Amino acid sequence: MLRLPQAAALRENTASLTSGDMIRPILIHPDPRLKKLCDPVAEITPDLLSLADDMLTTMYDAPGVGLAAPQVGVNRRLIVVDCAKTPDAPRPLVMFNPEITWASEDLSTYEEGCLSIPDQYAEVERPAEVRARWTDRAGEVQEEQFSGLWATCVQHEIDHLNGKLFIDYLGPLKRQMITRKMEKLKRERARSAAAQA
């Protein structure tokens, strides 16, 4: 999701929340796994809770403020977000089967980025406020209204669960340009990995 200055600070202040968890590799666009509709979570298992912890660790390490399961290669409807503005008060949310139940007519524009599309940013217009419903780690249904960056982040991550990237909101030329840059990045990383092997 969005890379912001506070994300790096949050990383330092959330070590105790995510200690012992694994940093997972993040898929880079274009990758067919990022374009699939994700399967609902029927039961919150220990494996899925472990995945959620790994996703938080991966998100904070990146650093970012949101991450969706398909970005780490898991085709399930699970996102994690933390858009807390103060580094000393993180608010990580783990959201199974999140859905938008209401969106405002008022719109807002944020310069969005994505951990699966590194170092590429573009302005995207979305509803300024949304209400979301999801199941939490304990299996309880939660509902909350979000505004500002939180609203943008929740919408961006739920888009991932539906196989949609923020660049899908852009015109075809800009989208193709970013995709070509990502293809080049992937080739460079593959060459670098081969050289180190």
Catalytic residues: 157
43 φψ region: left (φ > 0), alpha (ψ -120 to 50), beta (else): beta
Cα distances (angstroms) measured from residue 69 to each of 40, 51, 79, 191: 11, 8, 6, 27
Asked if 32 and 67 touch (Cβ cutoff 8 Å), the reply is: no
Residue position matching structure tokens 């012992």: 20
**Tokens matching residue 160:** 């991932």
**Tokens matching residue 167:** 């660049």
Contacts 24+ apart (CB under 8 A), 121-125: 122/166, 122/167, 122/169, 122/170, 122/174, 122/178, 124/152, 124/156, 124/166, 124/169, 124/170, 125/169
